[in-house]
Each structure stands twice: as structure tokens, then as C-alpha cells.
Amino acid sequence: MKASDNTFKVEKPEESTGFLLWQVTNLWQRSIKKALEPYDLTHSQFVLLASTHWLRLHAQEVTQIVLSNHTKIDPMTTSTVLRTLQQKGLLVRQEHQTDTRAKTVALTEAGIQIVKEAVVAVEQFDHAFFSVLGEELGGLNSSLLNLLHHFSIHNLPANENL
């Protein structure tokens, strides 16, 4: 039965893609948090450590802005999280050799060790969590990539019709 005030465009919560995404994201993030507890890492810390390692393995120079763009974490938050990781002894930040405004980022030996262990835990959890989708997983990944390519933090309309 549809409500008489027409506040919502959907009749049932499961018809709201955004609400469903929010619910699944909360379940996934809560479980990721538990998977990362043994490593004393937040999810943002893990993502920045893993991305630093990934980019280095793929022979890319890692700067704070490169990490921010790669992870879609805003630059100020990236800087704050990197500072915490530096205080934990998991990475070092240094002035860039040619761009005085930029800072390069590199993992310490401790950072490399912890990220290798944490990646295994996160990948195992992700496999278990998403395996219920079976052959639909590729379609989900394609849809998420489509959204990522279409929108970015800088061009997502605030209160406009998409």
C-alpha cells in the first residue's frame, strides 16, 4: 500500500538502489573492520597501505595526491590517515625531489609485512562475502566500474537531478 503523502518514489525499501547499497556497504564495512582488527588498522588505513604497495609494485611513483586519486579518498583525509600510518611506523613521507608541493610515500619494512598479511585476510573475507553472487559478481563489478567512471568526487552533483 502506497503512503498518501508521496514522500518516497518507491513503495518498498528494496526498490531503493541507494538504500540497498547503503545497507550492503554497512554490512561489508562492519565485517572488514573485524577482519582488520588483528592488524590494528582501520579500513582507510588498510586501503592507503594496500594502494601504496599496489602502486609501487606497478612501478608508479606514489605521492599523496596519486593515492587520493587512486583511492577516491579526499586529499585532506588522505594526508591525515597517512600521518597516522607514519606515526605507527608503517610508512614514510618525504618531500618530492622535483615538486616541492608534493610528498612521496613509501612503506617501511613493517608496513610491507603488515599489508601483505592484511591483504590476505581482506581478500579471503571479500571472496567469502561476494561469492554468494556466483556468476553475477562480474556484472556487479562492471556496474560499479561504470559508476566510478561516470562520477568522481569532483563532478558528482550535490542536489541536482542526475
154 falls in which pLDDT band (50, 70, 90)? Answer: very low
Q: Tell me: the pLDDT tens digits for 39-58? A: 999 999 999 999 999 999 99
18 falls in which pLDDT band (50, 70, 90)? Answer: confident
Q: Tell me: the pLDDT tens digits for 79-108? A: 999 999 999 999 999 887 777 777 899 999
Q: Which residues pair with 104 in a beta bridge?
A: 63, 94
Residue 80 CA to residue 74 CA, distance in Å, equals 10
Predicted confidence (pLDDT) at residue 3 exceeds the cutoff of 60: no
pLDDT at site 157:
58
How many other C-beta atoms are found inside a 10 Å radius of the C-beta of residue 120? 10
Note the Cα 125 to chain centre separation in Å.
15
Q: In this structure, what C-alpha cell is assigned to residue 41?
A: 588498522
> Hunting for cell 577516491 — which residue is that?
72
Q: Which top CATH class is 42-125?
A: mainly alpha
Determine if the pTM surpasses 0.95. no
Angle between helices 43-57 and 109-130 (to 10 degrees): 110
Cβ 53 vs Cβ 112: under 8 Å: yes
